[in-house]
Copies of this chain bind each other. A is one copy, B any other.
Amino acid sequence: MTRIAELPTPVALLDLEQMDRNIRRMQSHLDDLGVPLRPHVKTSKCPRVVAAQLAAGGRGITVSTLKEAEQFFAAGVRDIVYAVGVSPDKLPAVLALRQRGCELKIVTDNADAAAAIVAAGRAAGTTLEVWLEIDTDGHRSGLAPEGEALLAVGRTLHAGGIRLGGVLTHAGASYECDTPAALERMAEQERAGAVRAATRLRAAGLPCPVVSVGSTPTALAAVRREGVTEVRAGVYVFFDLVMHEVGVCRLDEIALSVLTTVIGHQVDKGWAIVDAGWMALSRDRGTQARRRDYGYGQVCDAGGTPLPGYVVTSTNQEHGVVARTGAPDRSIAARLPVGTRLRILPNHACATAAQHPEYAALAPNGEVERWPRFYGW
């Protein structure tokens, strides 16, 4: 039975009690709205974490890579949406997964990929299912809900023997919001755009059973769900400092941290040097342009209580500099002597988790288990 004090550092520490609370919070919110939740597994890439999400009521999963699809299909999940626009070269791998029984849905937003999907389906003599990606916030990919291309791509796929499964959108711009009113507006914009696209497809005689929307902030902020058939969300399972700045979690709801050890000081500068650099924390500086900049992360004591004002101000590959914001703490060597263990709350849980081969999964009784995660494509 491993305990925190015995863990080699740096390590990704996952507070299971808090993770379970986060899972229940999102699930019960969507249960109340009467909309199924399809968790996005890109945050954890961990079968144990995703099993907890599905056990709590999640229906199917969302993936960001075909490797995630392969790994979670191998772990027993069949209902999978690959929510990144497919390129023609990935279609053989998609077909292979479907032929093995995976109910893999793919996504596109353009005529070229649609033509390649039709050709691949015909060549394989199989029916592929495609969801059309809709752009509801201008932040990335997707077809405009009001544009002609939406219907053109839909017709190409439908006429080509593809099962048009529905529409999918992700209001990533919600990460820029920081008031409840702005979040609620963004959630409504996401919902209304996706429903509008579905309505136009149906009016054109095209099938569109699914209307899939979501991001953690809009999922939690939404009050209207008319026309939506499912919600996707990912980072809620851990939460992070960006979500805290967006306003959808408290600091003590962040379930993921990096456990690190003090290895030295530069007393004149008020620095403690820790063994978590950007390799362990990631290079993500997601709070850089927020109201509050946490540097590379908020410093907490070994038990997880934040040390107010102490952040990781800079990083090298395996070094982090812990300092107090404002006046230097010239007593830092006495406050945090060599060997002190600290937890660092991450800016962006998806990015920080990705740097680690496993989670040190901390149970309420203090025992730690290794929960492997995977990476790569």
8 A Cβ contacts from A335-365 to B: 337-339, 348, 350-351, 354-358
* A264-B113, A350-B317 given; A339·B87 CB < 8 A: yes
Contact B356 A264 (CB under 8 A): no
Proximity bits, A262-297, B CB within 8 Å = 1, else 0: 111110000001010011101111000000000000
Contact of A85 among B88, B112, B264 (CB under 8 A): B264
Q: How far is the CA of A173 from the CA of B282 in the complex (A)?
A: 21
* A113-B263, A279-B354 given; A85·B317 CB < 8 A: no
Q: How far is the CA of A145 from the CA of B46 in the complex (A)?
A: 47
Q: How far is the CA of A284 from the CA of B90 in the complex (A)?
A: 27
Proximity bits, A138-149, B CB within 8 Å = 1, else 0: 001100000000
Let me know if A8 is at the binding interface, CB within 8 A: yes
Task: Give chain B residues whose Cβ lies under 8 Å from the Cβ of A266.
Answer: 135, 141
Using CB atoms, name the residue of chain B closest to A354: B279
Q: Which residues of A contact B (CB under 8 A)?
A: 8-11, 42, 64-66, 84-90, 93, 108-110, 112-113, 116, 135, 140-141, 172, 261-266, 273, 275, 278-280, 282-285, 316-319, 321, 337-339, 348, 350-351, 354-358, 375-377
Nearest first, the 8 closest Cβ-Cβ pairs linking A and B are A283-B283, A112-B338, A357-B376, A85-B263, A64-B318, A87-B261, A283-B284, A87-B263
Query: A9-B377, A116-B338 provided; 6 other pairs, C-beta below 8 A?
Result: A8-B89, A8-B377, A85-B264, A87-B275, A283-B348, A317-B351
Some 22 contacts from A to B, beta carbons below 8 A apart, are A8-B89, A9-B89, A11-B377, A42-B318, A64-B317, A65-B318, A87-B339, A88-B338, A89-B339, A108-B264, A109-B264, A110-B265, A110-B338, A112-B339, A116-B338, A141-B319, A172-B316, A279-B354, A282-B283, A317-B350, A317-B351, A357-B375
